Amino acid sequence: MAKPSKTPPDLPTERDERAFWESHDSSDYVDWGAAEHLRLPNLRPSTKAISLRLPLALLERIKVEANKRDMPYQSLIKAWLAEDVARHRR
């Protein structure tokens, strides 16, 4: 593979960097043939445990819905929260 023909610009912020890479092809700047495969087996998304008090009846209804979907109820709560936040940010 040919060496990259361009040097990426030195951008002041992460936002500028993100915008740059969204509009430019990295193969002009990076020699992907020289890249090494990397495994990060213990890498997990960062999360924070919180305590949330729910009425027992609501928790039972959530567990029933989660069971219908064959998923843990905590995962269903996270999915619903993520969907609602995304919907309200539009």
One domain for residues 63 and 88: yes
Of 19, 26, 24, 27, give the one whose Cα is nearest residue 2. Answer: 27
The pTM of the whole model exceeds 0.75: no
Q: What was the pLDDT predicted at 58?
A: 98
One domain for residues 3 and 29: yes
Q: What was the pLDDT predicted at 2?
A: 64
One domain for residues 56 and 90: yes
Q: What was the pLDDT predicted at 12?
A: 92
pLDDT means over runs of 10, the chain (90 residues): 77 92 89 87 86 97 97 96 92
Q: What was the pLDDT predicted at 13?
A: 93
d(CA 26, CA 78): 34
Asked if the structure places residue 7 within a domain, the reply is yes
Instruction: Name the amino acid, one letter, at 77.
Output: I
- H helix and E strand count, the chain: 3, 0
Q: What was the pLDDT predicted at 41?
A: 84
One domain for residues 56 and 29: no
Q: What was the pLDDT predicted at 5?
A: 72
Domain enclosing residue 63, as ranges: 52-90
Please give the tally of structural domains in the chain. Answer: 2
Q: Are 28 and 4 in contact (CB under 8 A)?
A: yes
